[in-house]
Amino acid sequence: MDIAKNIKEITESLPGNVRLVAVSKTKPNEDILEAYNTGHRIFGENKVQDLTKKYEELPKDIEWHFIGHPQSNKVKYIAPFISLIHGVDSIKLLKTINKEAIKNNREIDVLLQFHIAKELTKFGLSRDEADVLLTSDAFNQLTNVRVVGVMGMATYTDDKDQVRNEFRVLKSIFNSLKNKYFSDSKIFTEISMGMSGDYPLAVEEGSTMIRVGSRIFGARNY
């Protein structure tokens, strides 16, 4: 794989308001550095142990995103440096992130993950669950967590209409939350949707952040 060429092609195809998260999970430092040397700085990992190791070994101006579903007992390891946590779907996890952010004297940005796919294995909130979370006393007491947007994964299918409709659902959820809870917020701006197989559709439907791995680095190394 020509990593530099792939990054360039994807980046040049994106509108100016859409950011690319290069999903580097399972990939060696050499591959990440090849992408880094093109000027790319945003990388995504989904395992805390791998992420903390890469953070220690790679340049410190990398903006690391945690794109998986973090376990509460492991948040403390990434709290000192993480830029954005994509997969947050419970008040318990938010409280843990807040606690670790306070310990590190910083604010941590998160995205609320919604279940928009037909697949039951995907994580995520429903609209009703989000309403309960966002109106709770516990949420209002969070001092060091910033909800900056939403995230979701479409069904893994060749049915483009289904995928497009699922992305539209996430966009409508974003609009609803923006109007209802974040109308005064200048930071509630992100819609993280779209991966290697479906990101062009996601961009058409309003994505501001795509998570692309295999289109950049090749097939995963399991």
Separation between Cα atoms, residue 39 and residue 202, nearest integer Å: 24
Assess contact for 43 and 24: CB atoms under 8 A: yes
Torsion sign, CA atoms 28, 63, 84, 176 = negative
Assess contact for 163 and 154: CB atoms under 8 A: yes
Start-to-end Cα distance in the chain: 17
**Concatenated DSSP letters of 84-152:** EEEEE--HHHHHHHHHHHHHTTS-EEEEEEE--SS-TTS--B-HHHHHHHHTSHHHHT-SSEEEEEEEE
Q: What is the pLDDT of residue 45?
A: 97
- With a pLDDT cut of 90, the percent of the chain lying above it is 92
State phi, psi for 170 to the nearest 5 degrees: -65, -40
pLDDT tens figures, 15-63? 999 999 999 999 999 999 999 999 999 999 999 999 999 999 999 999 9
Q: What is the pLDDT of residue 68?
A: 84
pLDDT tens figures, 73-101? 999 999 999 999 998 999 999 999 999 99
pLDDT tens figures, 129-152? 999 999 999 999 999 999 999 999
Separation between Cα atoms, residue 131 and residue 37, nearest integer Å: 43
Whether pLDDT at 219 is above 80: no
Q: What is the pLDDT of residue 177?
A: 98
Assess contact for 210 and 203: CB atoms under 8 A: yes
Whether pLDDT at 122 is above 80: no
- With a pLDDT cut of 70, the percent of the chain lying above it is 97
Assess contact for 131 and 172: CB atoms under 8 A: no
